[in-house]
Structure 1
Amino acid sequence: MGSTKQTTLRLSDERHRLLDEAKEIGANGQYDDPPNSDVIDAALTHLIESRENLDAARGEIDPTTIQLFNTSVLGLRYRTSIESRWR
């Protein structure tokens, strides 16, 4: 059996607000109150899957369209560079 790491999260007012808002998104109905750990797991999974999906879309979808899905947490940048083979 593997060891588990436990930590205590100190929730600022803003973190508490975000957690409550995320609980509403993840709740299965009006009277569902998912545990904080489930909400955090879902948020982490969503972040990872979103990044994988955006990375997979590169080359298939134009950069302007992909950038429409950028958020304050996750965003892709495209850079244009010109390189000369002549010196």
Structure 2
Amino acid sequence: MQGTSAELDRRALDFAQKQAALRDVIAALAEGRAEISGGDIVMQDMPAFLKELGENKEDWMIQAVLDLIVRAGEVGVGAMQPARVEEIEGPGVG
């Protein structure tokens, strides 16, 4: 039981560190210290945690956020606006 608790603590710390790295990348993009180029975020000091994303659920979640950021940067933030209800529930739907 103690080993399970230690593993959960390690995973929680790992995830918190990856979240902090993600915040750093978002701040760098907002401040012009990073850019989106060729489908990737280009940053001089990309946090190592984000370079080494693996196959677990937490990493998939972080990768999905990074992918959304890249997509928004490539198409422009306005193109990422959520669809309105009337666009989803158009004629013949429902």
Q: Same fold (TM over 0.5)?
A: no
The structure with more strand, counted as a fraction of residues:
2
Structure ranking higher on relative contact order (CA contacts 8 Å, 6+ apart): 2
Instruction: Decide which structure has the larger Cα Rg and report it.
Output: 1
Q: Structure 1 length as normaliser, TM-score?
A: 0.39
